[in-house]
């Protein structure tokens, strides 16, 4: 299982939100410096999310993303506000290894299919979900501000044959809480798809990562990676410790 060190971008800075709430923001300073620290410490990947673009399509953070991508010796994936073919092209040309399509995937599945065909191995679908009454897992869109009306397993099955490189699946109710990952949600993901799944949300430390690295669904599928943000920037676990736990 690979470690994906997360940097969420808002207003040109590095931040973390609590459960996707834009009113519950903590600042972590210069995103370039944070990226350099993760790289120096040995992360497998960088995971950048443009929160402004996810919410309203703004391009304020695009410069930061392209600067980090051009300098990073480790692979970088990014999502948030990826809406058009030119968005995908621009990010990949800047040095991004994997572009994550979220809201636009639900609104126009053909966009995902087209992007994956044009850039095989470089396109992922981001599926961020909330647990609703009746144990339904609903995918959220537009910076997690709106429900899509689509259930997580339904979305996974829909994009299964589109040729995407991975699904990045975030448990919104766990994100930024340090309360541990949603193992039940990931079990349901792995039962619904054969595409690699990267987990995100709730990791509090090395033990959570060890548990995820050993996690196997009833049909034998395993998680390909885990995104970690708050636990790293708040010192709950170091990057070397997290990498070792993921192994």
Task: Supply the DSSP string of 156-169, one letter for each residue.
Answer: HHHHTTTT-SEEEE
Residue found under tokens 């949603």:
182
Q: Which helix (H) or strand (E) holds 197?
A: strand 197-200
Q: Which of 2, 8, 165, 208 is catalytic?
A: 8
Catalytic residue selected from 2, 52, 128, 165 = 128
What is the pairing mode between strands 13-18 and 21-27? antiparallel
Crossing angle of helices 109-118 and 152-159, rounded to 10°: 40
Cα–chain center distance at 174:
13
Question: SS3 of 98, please?
Answer: strand
As a whole number of Å, the CA-based R_g of the chain is 16
Where do we find the tokens 């050993």?
214
128 part of the active site: yes
Q: Which token pair is 31?
A: 């995103």
56 is catalytic: no
Query: Do you know the residue count of the chain?
Result: 247
Q: Would you list the DSSP string of 190-217?
A: HHH-SS-EEEES---SHHHHHHHHT-B-
Just list the catalytic residues.
8, 128
């Amino acid at each position: 299982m690979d470690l994906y060190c997360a940097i969420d971008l808002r207003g040109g800075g590095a931040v973390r939100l609590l459960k996707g709430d834009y009113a519950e923001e903590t600042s972590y300073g210069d995103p370039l410096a944070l990226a350099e620290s993760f790289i120096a410490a040995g992360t497998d990947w960088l995971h950048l999310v443009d929160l402004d673009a996810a919410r309203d399509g703004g391009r304020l953070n695009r410069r930061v993303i392209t600067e980090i991508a051009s300098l990073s010796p480790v692979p970088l994936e990014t999502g948030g506000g990826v809406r058009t073919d030119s968005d995908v092209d621009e990010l990949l040309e800047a040095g991004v290894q994997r572009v994550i399509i979220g809201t636009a995937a639900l609104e126009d599945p053909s966009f995902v299919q087209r992007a994956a065909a044009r850039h095989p191995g470089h396109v992922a679908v981001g599926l961020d979900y909330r647990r609703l009454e009746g144990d339904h897992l609903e995918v959220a869109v537009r910076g997690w501000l709106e429900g899509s009306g689509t259930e997580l397993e339904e979305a996974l099955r829909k994009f299964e044959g589109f040729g995407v490189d991975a699904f990045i699946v975030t448990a919104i109710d766990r994100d930024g809480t340090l309360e541990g990952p949603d193992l039940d949600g990931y079990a349901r993901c792995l039962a619904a798809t054969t595409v690699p799944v990267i987990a995100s949300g709730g990791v509090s430390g090395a033990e959570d990562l060890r548990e995820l690295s050993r996690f196997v669904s009833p049909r034998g599928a395993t998680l390909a990676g885990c995104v970690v943000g708050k636990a790293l920037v708040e010192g709950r676990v170091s990057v070397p410790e997290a990498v070792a736990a993921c192994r």
